[in-house]
Amino acid sequence: MAQSETRKVAFVTGASSGIGRATAAAFAARGYATALVDFNEAQGREAEAEIRKAGGECMFIACDVSNDESVKQAVETAVSAYGRLDAAFNGAGIDGEHGKMAADCSIDNWQKVLGVNLTGVWLCMRHQIPEMLKNGGGAIVNCSSTAGLEGAPTLAAYCASKHGVIGVTKAAAIEYARQGIRVNAVCPGMIATPMTAGLDQELLSALVEQSPIGRQGRPEEIASAVLWLCSDGASFTTGQALAVDGAWTSC
């Protein structure tokens, strides 16, 4: 059953863990009815139960963001349940192969990483934007990375995908600015998530040591930035790539 027209609705991909999960929880805590969208059903159901236990309104929707029909069905399911769509965080992403120079990156890795990280973001916007237009506008935040702002050696596919996210964000922001839809990107630095937990610990320690702030960020710190970008307080902010990185890209 559709919710009251006054209740805002958020759609979060990558919601089963890390930044996506923290952002979904933040939306729900702020009073949004929140669609938790992810490929990992077991972890997604855990996140759903956790948010509901805390008093949030949410629902898990299984989705492969690299598949257009899957994304279409996920957006339709959320709108059917909650009646509208006001905000979206397109946070689903993978890092792919590590340690290979650009010429050694496999075609399979290139296609998979670009398929999830870049095509997935575009597919989400492709179906989110028409629903937002029905209600006079909304706010979308796409998850890029500091690797979308500068080079990332031995991560050519990841770096290309995250640069691409910023490009499509800026294009959409210009296109829909006068129709009430704001589109921004958030660019996390080294954040303590399952993705970074899989890195070589010596490498991780060295990266933290190089960081001006001297520590990893927390998923909740990215979630706070996303919530601000979706809030009325950011009503004049669109087409931006906001680095939340402990001054990493300021060096």
**Please, what sign has the CA dihedral across residues 12, 13, 15, 20?**
negative
Work out the pLDDT band at 207, boundaries 50, 70, 90.
confident
What pLDDT score was predicted for residue 213? Answer: 96
Q: Indicate whether 148 belongs to any domain.
A: yes
Q: What is the mean pLDDT of residues 41-60?
A: 98
Res 4 pLDDT > 60: no
What pLDDT score was predicted for residue 197? Answer: 75
Q: What is the mean pLDDT of residues 210-223?
A: 96
Q: Indicate whether 250 belongs to any domain.
A: no
Q: Indicate whether 114 belongs to any domain.
A: yes
Q: What is the mean pLDDT of residues 58-65?
A: 98
Work out the pLDDT band at 200, boundaries 50, 70, 90.
confident
Q: Indicate whether 2 belongs to any domain.
A: no
Sheet holding 87-90, edge to edge: 58-62, 33-38, 9-13, 87-90, 138-143, 181-188, 241-244
The number of domains in the chain is 1
CA distance 164 to 161: 5
Q: Indicate whether 44 belongs to any domain.
A: yes
pTM of the full predicted structure?
0.95
**Residues that are catalytic:** 158
Q: What is the mean pLDDT of residues 23-30?
A: 98
Greatest mean pLDDT among 43-52, 93-102, 189-198 lies in 43-52
Q: Indicate whether 28 belongs to any domain.
A: yes
State how far the alpha carbon of 97 is from the alpha carbons of 64, 109, 199, 207, in Å: 20, 7, 11, 18
Residue 177 lies in domain: 9-244
What pLDDT score was predicted for residue 68? Answer: 98
Work out the pLDDT band at 1, boundaries 50, 70, 90.
very low
Work out the pLDDT band at 186, boundaries 50, 70, 90.
very high
Q: Indicate whether 1 belongs to any domain.
A: no
Q: Indicate whether 249 belongs to any domain.
A: no
Res 130 pLDDT > 60: yes
Residue 142, amino acid: N
Q: What is the mean pLDDT of residues 194-208?
A: 82
CA distance 42 to 247: 35
Q: The domain that contains 46 carries what CATH number?
A: 3.40.50.720
Task: Give tens-digit pLDDT for 70-79.
Answer: 999 999 999 9
What pLDDT score was predicted for residue 195? Answer: 79
